[in-house]
Amino acid sequence: MLQLLHVSVLWFYLLLPSLLCDNLLCYFSPILEKEQTFELIVTECPPHELCFKADGRYGNHSALSARGCMAEKDCSQVHKIRLKGTVYIMSYACCDKPYCNSCLAATANLLSITVTLLTVAVMTGSL
């Protein structure tokens, strides 16, 4: 039962801030080359902004990525940016759920942790 309580508290802690206000919690990362790693930072978007994921392309090659918050009117736009002398085409995709701009690995990790905690709770007879 204690493990179930821990899982419930974890989900409540993650979702409560977004339920109490209109601001989304999203992940942030600066514009990075795809090979670079960066630990995502949780950020609270200003009112009326959505989470976004950006993809920077050089020709047919996906070379850059970024995450953060942006105004809804700017979503789905495409911009040219110059980075280190190279021009990339950045496209932005927005979403309107807490943490929706996470990568699949982070979502899989959170799901894996939840399933593990529930499995331990069931096996120990706590549920």
80 vs 89: CA distance, rounded Å: 5
Q: Could you read off the pLDDT of 87-104 as tens digits, one per residue?
A: 999 999 999 999 999 864
* CATH number, residue 70: 2.10.60.10
Q: Of 41-45, 68-72, 96-100, 123-127, give the lowest mean pLDDT range.
A: 123-127
Is it the case that residue 71 has pLDDT exceeding 70?
Answer: yes
pLDDT of 115 strictly over 50: no
Number of domains in the chain: 1
CA 34, 38, 39, 42 torsion-angle sign: negative
User: d(Cα 51, Cα 44) in Å, to the nearest integer?
Assistant: 9
Rounded to an integer, what distance in angstroms lies between the CA atom of residue 89 and that of residue 38? Answer: 21
Contact predicate 58/65, CB 8 Å: no
* Residue 102: domain span: 2-123
